[in-house]
Structure 1
Amino acid sequence: MADRERALAAICDTFVSGDASLPSASALGVPRVLRSEVEALGRPALVAELYQLLDTVESPVLNFALTGRPIRFSVLTQPERERYLKRWATSPIPLKRKAFQVMKRLTLLYTYGVDGSPYAAASGYVRGALDAPAPKSVTVRLPRAGETLDADVCVIGSGAGGGVIAAELSRAGKRVVVLERATPRFEDEFDGRELAGYAALFVDRGVATTTDRAIALLAGSALGGGTIVNWNTSLRIPAAVQEEWRAAGIDDLAPHYDAVAARIDVDTDESERNGANAALERGARALGLASATIARNVKGCGDCGPCTLGCRRGAKQSTLRTFLADASASGAEIIAPADVRSIDVSGGRVAGVTARVVGGDVRVRAPIVALAGGAIHSPAVLLRSRIATAQAGRNFHLHPVAITCGRYDEDLGGIWSGVPQSVLVDEFSDRGDGYGFRLEVPQGYPGILAASFPWWGADSHRQRARDARHIAPFIGIVRDRTAGRVSIDRGGEPLVWYANGPAERALLTRAMVEAARIHAAAGAREIFTLHTPPLTSSASELTELIAEIDRRGVRSNSITLFSAHQMSSCRIGTAPARSVADPDGQVWGVRGLFVTDASAFPSAAGVNPMLTVMALARRTAQRIAAAK
């Protein structure tokens, strides 16, 4: 066995050693899956990063320098390997903490998430019977390499922004071509398999992160974009954010909110509580905290479970079921997969786009281009095209999320079942300056749950995962003031640079504290955060737990953090020195090029962004249609 293969197997088996009834990670084939998944990302730098780590731990020379012992990691005993990884997990050297977290998350994700995993079964997970798939509502065709198309409007992306733009402008009589970079998937392919769903429907196969690997980024990459995989939460920006955006030239969203909410069936009629949401509501009420039922864009929703992996029954009113269907019915041509690599400009006006497809390129000539590739990929398109390079990718926000879990005596059913988000605690959403956090409940499956739970030894982690049906995670979604940046690598692919500032760290810490209080009030027996080493306490020792949460706070790669809301990387504003686009959404200096997704937000929304993306896109579409 090659050194790297031996090292990878040893690392995976350290995290998942197995027991009398469960196999080790290597016996399940996890090392092979992990390596192939990293290679499938198509990022040579990530493969090199993995190989460098494996070479380091398996090198006697380097281990002598690091530990004083000239040994290979693979020859150590299980207890010795666990101590080795724990030293990396708590190292003052950021690179070691990063390496620990990456290998921990990937190993556990692929162990618990693989089809038929005995570990998933041991956690109480049962994948339900499949509903009959909803009929296709959209006509999509494959691109033909070398073709050139002519259109009035080319829309890049098919999510919350792209779908609305395509529908509105098709209805206005424009010839619209939509280019979607993802391979199209339809309801008959939404089968609830965790790893397959991440690979088919998410950016970077569901394992995207910031460049320091400290924040996991969940972003849709599908026909229908993030509306295919989100949890249906449909909220409007709060008054304080409306005032901020008014200063950036956006002051008329109300009628657009009303219109898009009506089209995607936003209401609270189907916001039943699953076990975790009921616990959040119960605890908040016991403490007298402001909470509300979440409005959701569903029609005919039930307890089928895999909302994150695509709605097979078509109850989720995604753009695939609504705006893209409208666009298709009005004559829009939807082409996928087609990865737009550049926007063509001539004489200060957009001329079209060039997309990479299987076997070559496709060109679309159009006097109007709507950029709706999402806050990670839209700035990458501009940067590759050398458009707005001074501002494109800057002012990036992502709503960092910290999670606090409660273990309850009763079986809550697992957060893979029932309505994913039905309760919102917004008591702490504005701490007086327009910034704060909201508490909600996520949806998750055995793989992502196991990858999130703290690891401090294979046996203790395995037991924690076995309790999954009794665990309720509460997420604290922070409105971030600190801005990051999206750049591109040598191949033109996006890199996300972001580090929480003091304000975000303080709010994340406070969110964990308040979530812990709610768990205690809701009747949790045990409360734990996602810190490394694990931070756990009985509910009766809440005061001590809060003190320790405050002491540890948030440090890069010492706690698992997430983001599912990326925004503002091509923001609208009133001056080209501080923004990418003008108040109409048109890119400064390039007539006919409009930004129409969450990247156009002037600042962080503070709430789940889908409905606002749609409203802003409708506003932009109407201004395009009205222009001469």
Structure 2
Amino acid sequence: MVSRFPDPIRLGLARGWNVHGGPHGPVPERLSCDVAIVGSGAGGGITAELLARAGLSVVIVEEGPLRSSSDFRQLESEAYPALYQESAARKTADKAITILQGRCVGGSTTVNWTSSFRTPAPTLAYWREHFGLDGMDPDALAPWFEQVERRLGIDAWLMPPNENNDLLRRGADKLGIRTGEIRRNVRGCWNLGSCGMGCPTNAKQSMLVTTIPAALDAGARLLVQTRAQRLQLQADRVEALECVAVGPDGSASGVATRITARHYVLAGGAINTPALLLRSGAPDPHRRTGLRTFLHPVVISAAVFDDPVEGWKGAPQTIYSDHFLETQPLDGPIGYKLEAPPLHPIIFSTTLPGFGRAQADLLSRFPNTQALLALLRDGFHAESPGGQVRLREDGSPLLDYPLSPFVLEGARRALLSMAEIQFAAGARSVLPVHELAQSCSTWEQARAMIDTLPMQPLLTRVVSAHVMGGCGMAGDAQRGVVGPDGVHWQLANLSVHDGSLFPTSIGANPQLSIYGIVNRLAAGLRQRLGAPATALA
């Protein structure tokens, strides 16, 4: 299939970008640079552009492939194996939570649903009080957010919401529940609805089409299908980064590369970044590395309506409600954010319960099905301490995330809230996504059933696309892995610039939080490395 749109990646390669790995030729055995960046997603992309445009020599190491709009054909069967960790089937240790994470140039920004929220003020206040992050307040961060919002086209979405999202708005309105509109990082969006499979029109302003091309135009080098395997350490510094070539499926080929740099930035995401530190034996005197990893555990409610919903059409997420966050204190019963996810057949069928005839019946009503999801705000209460990244025998990462009774009781309240909203919007039936749930035809019936469901791991279907924490920042080494400047407390030439920085979950879709906070951290790093001031293009 030939794209009708100019492909900025193919154009860049044609004009001489320095890209190696996979189909782009072997990676050199030895490389040296000012800054080596592991990961090309939200944190790695922002950092790479700022530092490369300041004249520093930058090498970006990306485990996934370089794919572009010419490859994005709006097909789940192609997108998930090519663009996601473990083919969009990464799971926690007990298999109770499925995790969607990008694994490609641009990382999760290439495949996310464009939802853009600044870090909520209550979250920042909690960080200041409990983690000594005195500079983390809305006024101090505002200029950094404004820069990335201009750079990435983050603004109000002016198109009407699709029916999937508008049903959330209409149902909430009938119950007196406030909703809002979600800002999106798009320019010239065609409203196709396939954001999770890569944008075929280059409208989504992901790192794939913004900061990574800008960094490459400024002379950065990009290594794709290259895994950061281990950091070589000496005393309080990193001496080198050892990498290995991998195939499209992630299997190592044995071809090794050694990168030496003045400074190293880890931005591989909040499972892979802690894992790299653990594999490397990085100093961890307070046993913080990999701890307090958060997911915004997500539970889902599906509803069938008389009229078609066609949840695969149009911008995927444009309406939200924070009512159930704002009415819960941070340290009280777990709160949750409501959104309406896009619906596509593979994700739909693998997430909903049932099999055989029962699942066939569900799929037969797919065009008339609407879904709501609840993002549970973990990390603010003693009974939601998150999970822990650890290593398998082969050194690959594994997240152990126990679903506590505290979190699962929040899931029950969320299922009740979503069902009530869906019935208020006119649903003919509602099915909470739980292995023992039945489709209900009235709100009273649904409420009675949800109240008695056993809220247990594996019975309660839980998913996540927001991995945070594991290398939390704090004002002292006892409470965090890195300091307020993003620099590792024990390794002077190593920084962390991704969602693993967050000492709790965000309580909102995290991409803009990563963009804004990393923008400030990268500017500070540029200054410490003696490079001239620059800003995002």
What TM-score, normalized to structure 1? 0.77
Structure 1 residue 574: Cα displacement: 2.0
CA distance in 1, matches of 2:2, 2:348: 22
Is contact 2:20-2:27 (8 Å) kept?
Answer: no
Aligned partners of 2:471, 2:48: CA distance in 1, in Å?
A: 20
Whole-angstrom CA distance in 2 between matches of 1:579 and 1:146: 35
Q: In the aligned structure 1, how far is the partner of 2:210 from the partner of 2:50?
A: 12
Aligned match of 1:476 in 358, 368, 374?
374
Any conservation in 2 of the 1:430–1:437 contact (CA below 8 Å)? no
| Contact 2:189 2:204 (8 Å CA) reproduced | yes
Aligned to 1:4: none
1:181-200 superposed matches below 5 A? 181-200=63-82
Letter of the structure 2 residue corresponding to residue 197 of structure 1: A
- Structure 1's 246 and 271: CA in aligned 2 closer, same or farther, altered over 3 A? farther
Partner of 2:484: 583
| 1:474-553 equivalences in 2 (<5 Å) | 474-481=372-379, 482=384, 483-538=386-441, 541-553=442-454
In 2 relative to 1, CA 525–130 (structure 1 residues): closer, same or farther, beyond 3 Å?
Answer: farther
| 1:479 to partner: Cα distance | 0.5
What residue number does 2:7 align with? 135
Change (3 A) 1:612 1:271: farther
Q: For residues 160 and 269 of structure 2, what CA distance do their matches in structure 1 show?
A: 30
Code of the residue aligned with 1:201 in structure 2: it is L
CA distance in 2, matches of 1:531, 1:503: 17
Residues 528-571 of structure 1: per-residue CA shift (max 9 Å, x gap): 11111232210xx3123112212215211112110110001111
Partner AA of 2:216 in structure 1: S
Aligned equivalents of 2:476 and 2:454: distance in 1? 37
In structure 1, the partner of 2:314 is 418
8 Å contact kept, 1:233–1:294 = yes
Q: Supply the distance in 1 between the matched residues of 2:18 and 2:86 (Cα, whole angstroms).
A: 23
Once the 2 structures are TM-superposed, how far is the Cα of residue 502 of structure 1 from its aligned partner?
Answer: 2.9
Equivalence for 1:603: 504
Question: Equivalents in 1 of 2:392, 2:173: separation in Å?
Answer: 48
Q: How big is the alpha-carbon RMSD for the aligned residues of Structure 1 and Structure 2?
A: 1.6
- Classify 1:394/1:320 alpha carbon distance in 2 versus 1 (closer, same or farther; 3 Å): same
Change (3 A) 1:162 1:153: same
Residue 465 of structure 1 is matched in structure 2 by: 363
> Residue type of the partner of 1:411?
P
Is 1:440 aligned to 2:335, yes or no?
no
- Contact 2:84 2:103 (C-alpha < 8 Å) held by counterparts: yes
- Structure 2 distance, partners of 1:333, 1:526, is 54
1:155-554 residue pairs with structure 2 within 5 A? 155-247=37-129, 248=131, 249=133, 250-251=135-136, 252-357=140-245, 358-389=253-284, 390-413=287-310, 415-434=311-330, 435-455=334-354, 458-481=356-379, 482=384, 483-538=386-441, 541-554=442-455
Deviation at 1:598, TM superposition (A): 0.2
- Which of the two has greater helix per residue? 1
Per-residue deviation, 1:239: 1.4
Query: C-alpha distance in 2, partners of 1:130/1:266?
Result: 29
Output one character per residue of 1:434-479: Cα deviation in whole Å (capped at 9) or x when no partner. Answer: 2511110112311111112221x52222011110010001001110
Higher strand share: 2
Mapped to 2, the partners of 1:545 and 1:359 lie a distance apart of 55
Other structure's SS at 2:70 match? helix
**Residue 561 of structure 1 aligns to which amino acid in structure 2?**
V
* Equivalent-residue separation in structure 2 for 1:501 and 1:241 (angstroms): 22
Deviations 1:11-58 (A, max 9, x none): xxxxxxxxxxxxxxxxxxxxxxxxxxxxxxxxxxxxxxxxxxxxxxxx
SS in 2 for 1:608: coil
Against the structure 1 CA distance between its residues 338 and 433, is the aligned structure 2 distance closer, same or farther, given a 3 Å change threshold?
same
1:111-161 CA-partner distances (Å, limit 9, x unpaired): xxxxxxxxxxxxxxxxxx986244124535124355211100000000000
Identity, % of aligned positions: 32
Aligned to 1:557: 458
Query: d(CA) in 2 for partners of 1:466 and 1:452?
Result: 16
- Select between 426-435 and 473-482 the one with higher mean Cα deviation: 426-435
CA distance in 2: counterparts of 1:292 and 1:130, whole angstroms:
38
CA–CA separation in structure 2 for the residues paired with 1:158 and 1:589? 24
Q: Distance in 2 between matches of 1:375 and 1:446?
A: 28
Question: In the alignment, is the contact (CA less than 8 A) between 1:272 and 1:419 conserved in 2?
Answer: no
For the Cα contact (< 8 Å) 1:271–1:293, is it kept in 2?
no
Distance of 2:227 and 2:5 partners within structure 1: 28
Q: Deviations over 1:409-438 (max 9, x none)?
A: 00112x222110010011111343225111
- 8 A contact 1:291–1:423 mirrored in 2: yes
Q: Pick 1 or 2: higher relative contact order, CA cutoff 8 A, min separation 6.
A: 2
CA distance in structure 1 between the aligned counterparts of 2:7 and 2:280, rounded to whole angstroms? 38
Mark the runs of 5 or more structure 2 residues left unpaired by the alignment: 246-252, 530-537
Secondary structure in structure 2 of the residue aligned to 1:253: helix
What does residue 35 of structure 1 align with? none
* Cα gap change, 1:271 to 1:179, in 2 (>3 Å): farther
Q: Distance in 1 between matches of 2:32 and 2:18?
A: 17
Deviation string, structure 1 residues 272-329 (Cα, Å, up to 9, x no partner)? 3112101111111111111011000011112323211100100000011111122112
Question: Residue 435 of structure 2 aligns to a residue in which SS?
Answer: coil
| Counterpart secondary structure, 2:524 | helix
**CA distance in 1: counterparts of 2:211 and 2:102, whole angstroms:** 17
Which residue of 1 is the match for residue 468 of structure 2?
A: 567
Name the aligned partner's letter for residue 461 of structure 1. Answer: Q
**8 A Cα contact 2:27 2:223, kept in partner:** no
**Kept in 1: contact 2:238–2:494 (CA 8 A):** yes
The alpha carbon displacement at 1:271 in A equals 4.8
Residue 184 of structure 1: how far off its partner (Å): 1.2
Contact 1:339-1:356 within 8 A present in 2 as well: yes
Q: Deviations over 1:222-272 (max 9, x none)?
A: 100000010000001211101122243242322111111111001113453
- In structure 2, C-alpha distance between the alignment counterparts of 1:623 and 1:408, rounded to whole Å: 52
| Count of paired positions | 496
Q: What is residue 86 of structure 1 aligned with on the other side?
A: none
